[in-house]
Structure 1
Amino acid sequence: MDIQEGMELATFAGGCFWCTEAVFLELNGVKSVVSGYIGGKTVNPTYAEICNGDTGHAEAIRITFDPKKISFGELLEIFFGTHDPTTLNRQGNDIGTQYRSEIFYHNEAQKTLSEDYIALMTKENTFGKPIVTKISAAPKFYEAEEYHQNYYNQNKTQGYCSYVITPKIEKLKKVYKDKLKK
């Protein structure tokens, strides 16, 4: 994938990609967010294959961002502030390896920042439980089907969106209001 000069990539798995995509689309400095699949063995996986948990892939988002407007460290802060990194292979009622917490780094700086951030949160016992978020080199990312892209913004009244995603967006707007698009 070619990215525009001056832009960088970040790839996060933090449970359902509808949730993580909705959060990161709100941030100033984020140019795009693509929902997809990463970290497994199946080539060109489908949503149906991901849901059965056999592919090894996680639901994830690939973020294209401007590091002059928002840093990778700030993205990490919001990633950890908007999902539960202490539950293995699960976020809320979404259960399975496809809902794991994982950072897929694109360079050594991202790897080091991720390791340092987790070490700091562990030392400070931020969550009161061990952090299970994995850190892995970013392998091939497979874009999810079109109907998954920008899902929340197109389906806000759907039950899952109303009850699971809207509270995350409200928290984001309250806690990280200085980082939001105007």
Structure 2
Amino acid sequence: MTNKKLKQLTVGCGCFWCIEAVYNQVKGIEKVVSGYTGGTVPGKPTYREICSGLTGHAEVVQVTYDPNIISYEDLLVIFMTSHDPTTLNRQGADVGTQYRSVIYYHDEKQKEIAEVVVKEMTQYYENPIVTEISELGEFFEAEPEHQDFYNSNKRQGYCTFVIEPKLAKLRKLHADKLKTHVA
């Protein structure tokens, strides 16, 4: 058995179901957990509370990855190309602060890398990037029905019309970073 030193990435870019499905297809990803962070109310929030937009939390995923297989920088480039980082508090029909584009850094090195990646990505967008870069606070795992949502609900309309086009874009832009077999 190999001794891996795993790291974590926490990002939000609209509905967590989308970015969870994206990262589940990337080489070096050990685990993807949908959840919430960045809020101001005490206690563990629920999905219903998050959807109200009143808690201040963002829908995010916390990704556990092997940095010997995929870098933090590469994961951020995948993140930046998997959603529209130029729309404030909105991704498609999902509107509200809970759907903001955000990178939550775990340490100063991640913060520095995130700032560089966001700056480098500006050349690819016509409008200014509004992705927030913030220190990670407490992370709350979302309810069980939100975990591995795409793989459990592939025939649902949201998966067909919103998630599958994002996965097609992932395959087109980042084919070299994908697992050869995806569950």
Is 1:39 aligned to residue 38 of structure 2? yes
TM-score normalised to structure 1 length: 0.95
In structure 1, the gaps of 5 or more residues are none
Aligned length: 177
- Shift of the alpha carbon at 1:118? 1.5
Given that 2:21 and 2:150 are in contact with CA atoms closer than 8 Å, whether structure 1 keeps it comes out as yes
Indicate the larger mover: 170-179 or 148-157: 170-179
Aligned residue for 2:139? 141
- Shift of the alpha carbon at 1:120? 2.0
Residues in 2 aligned to 1:118 and 1:169: alpha-carbon distance in whole angstroms: 21
Is 1:102 aligned to residue 102 of structure 2? yes
Corresponding residue SS for 2:45: coil
Aligned residue for 2:160? 162
Given that 2:4 and 2:66 are in contact with CA atoms closer than 8 Å, whether structure 1 keeps it comes out as no
In structure 2, the gaps of 5 or more residues are none
What RMSD, in angstroms, separates the aligned Cα atoms of the two structures? 1.0
Q: Deviations for 1:61-82, whole angstroms, at most 9, x for unmatched residues?
A: 0000000000000001100011
Residues in 1 aligned to 2:38 and 2:48: alpha-carbon distance in whole angstroms: 16
Indicate the larger mover: 86-95 or 5-14: 5-14
Residues in 2 aligned to 1:168 and 1:119: alpha-carbon distance in whole angstroms: 23
TM-score normalised to structure 2 length: 0.94
Residues in 2 aligned to 1:180 and 1:118: alpha-carbon distance in whole angstroms: 22
- Shift of the alpha carbon at 1:5? 5.2
Corresponding residue SS for 2:140: strand
Q: Deviations for 1:30-80, whole angstroms, at most 9, x for unmatched residues?
A: 000000000002320000000110000000000000000000000011000
Q: In the alignment, residue 55 of structure 1 is paired with which amino acid?
A: T
Aligned residue for 2:56? 56
Could you list the runs of 4 or more consecutive aligned residues of structure 1 that deviate by over 3 angstroms after TM superposition? none
Residues in 2 aligned to 1:32 and 1:153: alpha-carbon distance in whole angstroms: 14
Q: In the alignment, residue 75 of structure 1 is paired with which amino acid?
A: L
Q: In the alignment, residue 40 of structure 1 is paired with which amino acid?
A: G
- Shift of the alpha carbon at 1:117? 1.3
Indicate the larger mover: 172-181 or 154-163: 172-181
Q: Deviations for 1:69-103, whole angstroms, at most 9, x for unmatched residues?
A: 00000001100011000000000000000000000
Residues in 1 aligned to 2:56 and 2:156: alpha-carbon distance in whole angstroms: 28
Aligned residue for 1:175? 173
Q: Percent identity?
A: 54
- Shift of the alpha carbon at 1:25? 0.5
Corresponding residue SS for 1:77: helix
Corresponding residue SS for 1:18: helix
Residues in 2 aligned to 1:173 and 1:23: alpha-carbon distance in whole angstroms: 10
Is 1:153 aligned to residue 169 of structure 2? no
Residues in 1 aligned to 2:83 and 2:140: alpha-carbon distance in whole angstroms: 22
Given that 2:10 and 2:63 are in contact with CA atoms closer than 8 Å, whether structure 1 keeps it comes out as yes
Corresponding residue SS for 2:129: coil
